[in-house]
Structure 1
């Protein structure tokens, strides 16, 4: 059997072409398409993905027609995105507007029902933002991208350095020197360290590389370790 004329080879080529086309379309649409999705971005994403999968595995589908559909859909989405930047009305139509779910610490059931957000969704996102008690929250707003923003009550707001009128040293980025048990040699070099230094620090702390999920070094050369720990069942009270 001639491999280059087989269906397997055709699927491989179609997959490569679909992936390449999707990559360039995503670059065209910008980073927003792969980060926080609005309803419009979501529709664009699944539509283009559907065209790509059809092009890749459906050998009866016309190859160039499928690719053309992806390109046309991507360009159309790009121009609509440009229009939403220039027109507030179009932005509200395509992207949507925020919805208040909680006001003055009271849940607005009508808005929650309209937005298809239940109490568990609200509690989950509140915990993600560091709020484990809804009584600490003044406002909760569902953003157009599906995330919920929270405004805490005045007495629960974090005190900032500005509030305390303190002077602090400039902060820098931490370098990731171990990720998933793997030493990041390039990152060590960039901060003027080497593997020998890292292994020595680990030995002093009684740790081994494969036991570390993440290790970081700050601008003061402080090494912080995050170990792999066994699963801890703390879910039962959160349901």
Structure 2
């Protein structure tokens, strides 16, 4: 049998074997790797490559080697889940490298990291001054977790007493110019509604690369033709503007009437509407 036939057949067999092994090991094998997983992954790939291209090698032996490395990695992960001591040994522990804005040089040398490398990891988190950091930990998988000092932490809506609505994840109801019927049904909308919204925007379905519907029922689209400007949803801003106009009209009626009973009624309703506007502002600001 020609050599190229061996290579093709072995490539398909070991590609399938590697896929099955990776599926068994789980998502960690293709995300952030521990030291052991990193070594095992490289070795498994090297074995597969050698067996696929080495026509005189024994494919059966290569399959056994891949199986053994996959089995050992699986067992290490399994034991790590049930034993913290073993997990600390196999995967390592987090190391504090910054505390109270000061770098812990001994820990930094222990992990063989330089100041430049730590600074680069901090800049990836939009932190440009080490003195602003309250606490930073170098995690076992090589990423840096950092907490800013209280004075430098960004304000949150809770800090200023602002209540915001809970946002649900948007649903992709158009993809590659085709309607995703399952997602559309999930939103409770119909195809007729969708075609009507696209008509309002002045776009056709076949020109929509992706269309998303948010939790407020607003449709946003990304077109294949980037030169076409698509208007942004205005339902919420328009509703807020209408409410403000009605509230202003009530105050105007209150000032323009001479009837004390009507004046009190307009004033009361204007105050109630203003209270409603304040409550709805986080929802209707767009």
Name the TM-score, length of structure 2 as normaliser.
Answer: 0.64
Asked if structure 1 preserves the Cα contact closer than 8 Å seen for 2:98 and 2:135, the reply is: yes
CA distance in 1, matches of 2:165, 2:58: 62
Distance 1:101 1:225, change over 3 A: farther
SS of the equivalent of 1:149 reads strand
**Take 2:178 and 2:126, find their aligned partners in 1: how far apart are those partners?**
30
Moved more, 90-99 or 188-197: 188-197
User: Which has a greater percent of helix?
Assistant: 2
* Max Rg structure: 2
- Cα 1:97–1:8 change in 2 (3 A) is same
The 10-residue stretch of structure 1 (17-26 or 163-172) with the greater mean CA deviation from structure 2: 163-172
Contact 1:100 1:139 in 2 (8 A): yes
Give unmatched runs, 5+ long, in structure 1.
Answer: 230-239
Equivalence for 1:46: 42
- Gap change, CA 1:129 and 1:185, over 3 Å in 2: farther
Alignment partner of 2:15 out of 19, 22, 39: 19
Contact 1:48 1:73 in 2 (8 A): yes
Distance 1:53 1:22, change over 3 A: same
**Structure 2 CA distance, aligned partners of 1:27 and 1:115?**
31
CA distance in 1, matches of 2:71, 2:22: 11
Q: 1:151 to 1:54 in 2, by over 3 A?
A: same
Instruction: Identify the structure with bigger relative contact order (alpha carbons < 8 Å, sequence gap 6+).
Output: 1
- Unaligned stretches of 5+ in structure 2? 227-286
CA contact 2:133–2:146 (8 Å) conserved in 1: yes
Q: 1:89 aligns with which of 80, 85, 101?
A: 85
DSSP 3-state at the match of 2:64: helix
Alignment partner, residue 133 of structure 1: 129
TM-score by length of 1: 0.75
